[in-house]
Structure 1
């Protein structure tokens, strides 16, 4: 809350999460020292609030007159002195953040240099740069205007500023939502940036007999802020003298109505209408934007906790059940159903949920089945075996504890379904697989299903019968900064990430498609190479790409599929976070300029890995060359 009050004044904070307070002085000249004695600014004692109140409920505001890129040397030097002194005061008070004023012009190199110097010595406090979120006119204004001279897009100014500050992780943004808002695509870019708050001015509210309210677009902006854990700051002028008199006249038992209370109530109604976990399942909420190392599915045995998480994905098992049901109906007619037996081989059966899905599909379709559950993890086999006994499935399910690559059987499958459940009956067999990783083929689904093809009859089928990977350029400053804290080589490694504070700056594009069984594909090798061109919509403006989010779409059987690509995502699908491919250096992409990516899936006798390189508008090195930083072992 911007009360425009001094550091020395006490503020009533019970209505709000935090208040924003201004300093109240300005040096009269560039000379701020006389006779080696520092001239102290006017400020009250820090004891007017407790330390925890300063730390948890107050955000400082740096003086708005400061102009470190002014051509006036006196003003420039006075600004630099005041900036450092005010931030030092905020640090002394243990404030969590101070809001820096908006740069006065597009060229703000000296301002950024001074801020970067300060950031190097800050221990706990963060700096929030105030950026106007508005649609600028084409005509630049003069230097005394609130609009930055020569700046048509405030994002460009922010991008230049943070680059000069070396992408420091203590530098964040406060969006000032004044004037006409830009397009939805343009606003969407900011979701991937380190935005801590948005300022909504009281004069942007419309008032009726029920009180103040926001336009539909500004309501959507506020909801976007809430849903991404950003603060909303109400800003407006207050008559401090009248406010003080109101508090003094109020008895100790009464809570006076704050002048901003009606605006706060309007925003509270918006917050109450939204789901605080909208777009993210409760079981995934704690995973947002955290880096997870990629698994080694053929080498590592999963722990019980991993199975517990995988088994929460009810939508996945339901899709497999539907696919198996449809496959059984198409492979065995109603007439032959009492006679023929479908042999189902579940490869990678885990603790049995795919086995249960296959058996349920058989019961629903009234088909007879004999199921083989193949699982290499001996600890999971114990749970699997107990499930079969507890559910009286011993007459239908045979457990095989071994790697699919070393197993053999005389039963040939009609349908191979992935991890695989293999469906077989009489003269035909079917097989089903769930080796799908975050990128479709990143957990060696092609290699595993190729190995399982030996169980198929010539006219047998695989579920999934096809899998396509997708890539999408994204802005995600939080993830970039988390990788940056580790070694530089970490940028050569893809991560499973539940992307939360992310801006998807261009539509996804297809990368690789694998057809199963492999003898139906024109490509007999699982190596792949492609060149992808992304086009950022013109209304979005320029963007900074930190990396690429990887998704997949698996066609299980006919029109039954599982998809994690955001525009076509399977409802309530869990467990598959995007596979994020980072860039060592973020790539600036100007409006209207295409972004080109070269992408490889490489294989040798012992491992599989990805390599990637941006080739336009700038040229990056080839990430993860020869699989030196990341690979999946066969």
Structure 2
């Protein structure tokens, strides 16, 4: 795990103003005026009503020509729209072009069953994208497909979008989708919408799609899948007045949201007559704003920009400090500290200084959002520690073959929980040792402790602290193979530990034990290690502890940790899949065959545990805490396998006999080698119920460990999201592991995923293999729907 940055700043809210029917052309002056009003950006249509009228005229002329010629439209050449003219657009290259979010025409129908309408719509889209790209536009919003469109219509829409991405090679395309799957019906559409002009012979043949809660997400998933998860394709998500289920919210949260569109109709009016958002809206917005790439916010149809017709008007800038009436339903701010102003706010500070507040706020919706930005909850310990590393893929460490740098050790040592828990475990082990009157491995009765893989020595310090706290004398050995860390350990021993530690430079597996006065080697009473990886055993803790177990007291010896388990769950994570797809296209052929260490953030759990309906209810006057911003649903995380230490001596004896090709060794084994490490082979098959349709992009892996279980109970660590809060809250030493799938699995609602996982070894390296299958039960028959590739990390396995 690389060193994450300690980002203490709070996310900024970048807020734009959007009018679906903007009356004025968006000039540089209008952009500056919007900034004076407190907005960070404006939206602008790419073309004008004149262009709309020209397209409708062309369609009318074409239909008339077909009618007069008494020919089928299929025998008539398709109409072509001439190039844009000056009157067709108000857009032009300018200094403020980067502060505009542009919209393609909402009156086109790319998914139309009528080939004429679909053809004209594609032309309009491509003309607009090409001109926007010429002007230097970066952000373009494309109205989403009509959700009543058939599967054929969706594929047509997706193909047009894929072409548009090629037309504007630097443009970011945002597909506007309703969060709840509800879309305005035909009766609400503009009379000039091209869908109104589709030939009845085509529309009558199209049954249309059945609209459900997941309809919008399903349409988006179809589009992005056809576009192969294009990195410049994302979502402009429209928040309804009433948010859908937590499951659907979680699904959208995992997607690449770049714009949050909040219409005026989504606001509530509190008892004081002020515009506010519900608590579920606030929580969803806060969660999105904590993403590595936080979305921008668009306030839609909240009224025209105030003072547009009066350039001398000086606006009061929305600072986020609301009037008592506006803040009546909002929680008390946690402090008087506010984040740095956005660029638009900063530009307005001087102009607004000293002005008295207006009795009637000219931009109440904007003021409220600025207020939400100012009072958002503090970042958690993990968020601050991992700032900038969310969903960033890192190769797992190979501590046996690589000598770690000091900065890597330093990252782990920042953990506020892990080392304290280790000290507790050692303290309790020492106390139990004395209570149970066990004999020690030293002549003077001191308990012999060996910290194997000592690194820079934090566990050595904790062992000495445990001795002082418990009053039990100890003799401590620090074993480290890294020659650079060995130098630092010697310095610590001289300056910090007062020579109480014996520092030994060697691979722990080669260490023969404490040297006795007669030249022989003694035993160790307590072995302490921190060899665990993100999946518990992926950094070869079993192999390392097997190799050093020969020094452990055979009667009373204790290993800390005593056991550890690997856990997994299927997830949807489009962001990471897009990253891996780009890597594989850039020449990294093994991108999908590496179990990546990653701070998972923007994900959706496909299999969740039943929730208490009342758990999601939040009183209107309740303060939003960090807990509300965590994943709203608890995942179903299942155990893959377990390792325990010390092993029975018979197992190690058998492994020793097999090693070196002896007569009792294997004949090459299933995976090569002599079978000396076969006792560390593992296999698991786990099953997960999938409640709602989704896409499986891979498996999230976690671990739990029992450091020590004694008379006072168990001291445990966990990265499992189900148990981490209880066992080791705020622990930051380990990020989860991610096993990707080369080809995502589409899973329907009420289906089942079966995960097969192998831990393989050939006595020289250890690697994983994984396979995911999808099933559905119809009647009493269980049918397999799909199966992933059998993927293997053998070429990137951890060397022993």
Instruction: Give TM-score scaled by structure 1 length.
Output: 0.89
Q: Quick one: structure 1 residues 187 and 477, their matched pair in 2 at CA, closer, same or farther if it must change by over 3 Å?
A: same
Alignment of 1:429-468 (within 5 A): 429-458=525-554, 459-468=556-565
Aligned to 1:214: 277
1:410 deviation in Å?
A: 5.4
1:428 deviation in Å?
A: 7.7
Alignment of 1:157-176 (within 5 A): 157-176=219-238
Aligned to 1:234: 299
Deviates more, 1:108-117 or 1:613-622: 613-622
1:336 deviation in Å?
A: 9.4
1:604 deviation in Å?
A: 1.0
Give the match's secondary structure for 1:180. coil
* Per-residue Cα deviation, 1:484-505 (whole angstroms, up to 9, x for no partner): 1122431011111111222223
1:248 deviation in Å?
A: 5.1
**Correspondence for 1:134 among 172, 180, 205:** 180
CA contact (8 A) 1:70 1:76 kept: yes
CA contact (8 A) 2:126 2:167 kept: no
Aligned to 2:107: 65
Matched, 1:405 2:560: no
Aligned to 1:422: none
Give the match's secondary structure for 1:434. coil
CA contact (8 A) 1:225 1:232 kept: no
Q: Quick one: structure 1 residues 613 and 34, their matched pair in 2 at CA, closer, same or farther if it must change by over 3 Å?
A: closer
**Correspondence for 1:619 among 787, 791, 796:** 787
Aligned to 2:97: 54
Q: Quick one: structure 1 residues 277 and 89, their matched pair in 2 at CA, closer, same or farther if it must change by over 3 Å?
A: farther
Q: Quick one: structure 1 residues 34 and 349, their matched pair in 2 at CA, closer, same or farther if it must change by over 3 Å?
A: closer
Q: How many angstroms apart in 2 are the aligned matches of 1:359 and 1:113?
A: 66
Q: How many angstroms apart in 1 are the aligned matches of 2:141 and 2:742?
A: 29
Aligned to 2:259: 197
Aligned to 1:496: 597
1:244 deviation in Å?
A: 2.2
Aligned to 1:423: none
Q: How many angstroms apart in 1 are the aligned matches of 2:425 and 2:682?
A: 28
1:96 deviation in Å?
A: 2.1
CA contact (8 A) 1:134 1:179 kept: no
Deviates more, 1:230-239 or 1:289-298: 230-239
* Per-residue Cα deviation, 1:224-274 (whole angstroms, up to 9, x for no partner): 22222222221115347x752244555999669897721122222222222
Q: Quick one: structure 1 residues 630 and 521, their matched pair in 2 at CA, closer, same or farther if it must change by over 3 Å?
A: farther
Q: How many angstroms apart in 2 are the aligned matches of 1:519 and 1:301?
A: 31
**Correspondence for 1:329 among 431, 436, 443:** 431
Q: Quick one: structure 1 residues 278 and 457, their matched pair in 2 at CA, closer, same or farther if it must change by over 3 Å?
A: closer
CA contact (8 A) 1:351 1:384 kept: yes
Matched, 1:244 2:244: no
Q: How many angstroms apart in 1 are the aligned matches of 2:602 and 2:697?
A: 12
CA contact (8 A) 2:707 2:715 kept: yes
Aligned to 1:13: 34
1:202 deviation in Å?
A: 1.5
1:473 deviation in Å?
A: 1.5
Matched, 1:151 2:151: no
Larger radius of gyration: 2
Aligned to 1:286: 388
**Correspondence for 1:224 among 276, 280, 287:** 287
Q: How many angstroms apart in 2 are the aligned matches of 1:352 and 1:306?
A: 13
Aligned to 1:369: 474
Aligned to 1:421: none
Q: How many angstroms apart in 2 are the aligned matches of 1:562 and 1:335?
A: 28
Q: How many angstroms apart in 1 are the aligned matches of 2:18 and 2:164?
A: 24
Structure having greater relative contact order (Cα 8 Å, sep ≥ 6): 2
CA RMSD of aligned residues (A): 3.0
Aligned to 1:543: 694
1:182 deviation in Å?
A: 1.3
Alignment of 1:594-613 (within 5 A): 594-613=752-771
Q: How many angstroms apart in 2 are the aligned matches of 1:384 and 1:35?
A: 76
1:178 deviation in Å?
A: 1.7
Q: How many angstroms apart in 2 are the aligned matches of 1:248 and 1:453?
A: 82
Q: Quick one: structure 1 residues 448 and 254, their matched pair in 2 at CA, closer, same or farther if it must change by over 3 Å?
A: closer
Alignment of 1:108-127 (within 5 A): 108-127=154-173
Deviates more, 1:515-524 or 1:583-592: 515-524
Unmatched 5+ stretches in structure 2 = 1-16, 63-77, 190-207, 316-347, 517-521, 608-635, 653-677, 775-784
1:95 deviation in Å?
A: 2.2
Structure with greater strand percent: 1
Q: How many angstroms apart in 1 are the aligned matches of 2:81 and 2:686?
A: 66
**Correspondence for 1:87 among 110, 129, 132:** 129
**Correspondence for 1:473 among 567, 570, 584:** 570
Aligned to 2:637: 508
Deviates more, 1:66-75 or 1:369-378: 66-75
Q: How many angstroms apart in 1 are the aligned matches of 2:168 and 2:351?
A: 41
Q: How many angstroms apart in 2 are the aligned matches of 1:122 and 1:35?
A: 19
CA contact (8 A) 2:450 2:524 kept: no
1:295 deviation in Å?
A: 1.7
Q: How many angstroms apart in 2 are the aligned matches of 1:438 and 1:157?
A: 35
Matched, 1:553 2:704: yes
1:360 deviation in Å?
A: 0.4
Q: Quick one: structure 1 residues 632 and 41, their matched pair in 2 at CA, closer, same or farther if it must change by over 3 Å?
A: farther
Q: Quick one: structure 1 residues 8 and 19, their matched pair in 2 at CA, closer, same or farther if it must change by over 3 Å?
A: closer
Alignment of 1:417-428 (within 5 A): none
Unmatched 5+ stretches in structure 1 = 413-425
* Per-residue Cα deviation, 1:559-580 (whole angstroms, up to 9, x for no partner): 2111011122222211211111
CA contact (8 A) 2:26 2:44 kept: no
Give the match's secondary structure for 1:594. strand
Q: How many angstroms apart in 2 are the aligned matches of 1:196 and 1:291?
A: 21
1:179 deviation in Å?
A: 4.5
1:80 deviation in Å?
A: 1.4
Give the match's secondary structure for 1:185. helix
CA contact (8 A) 1:497 1:578 kept: yes
1:313 deviation in Å?
A: 1.5
Give the match's secondary structure for 1:46. coil
* Per-residue Cα deviation, 1:40-72 (whole angstroms, up to 9, x for no partner): 55223525x41xx312x2111112111012234
Q: How many angstroms apart in 1 are the aligned matches of 2:747 and 2:651?
A: 35
Give the match's secondary structure for 1:98. strand
* Per-residue Cα deviation, 1:533-565 (whole angstroms, up to 9, x for no partner): 1123x3xx2111111111100110122111011
Aligned pairs, number: 607
Q: How many angstroms apart in 2 are the aligned matches of 1:79 and 1:72?
A: 11
1:280 deviation in Å?
A: 3.1
Aligned to 1:528: 682
CA contact (8 A) 1:135 1:180 kept: no
Deviates more, 1:17-26 or 1:446-455: 17-26
CA contact (8 A) 2:758 2:770 kept: yes
Q: Quick one: structure 1 residues 450 and 337, their matched pair in 2 at CA, closer, same or farther if it must change by over 3 Å?
A: closer
Q: How many angstroms apart in 1 are the aligned matches of 2:115 and 2:799?
A: 62
CA contact (8 A) 2:745 2:787 kept: no
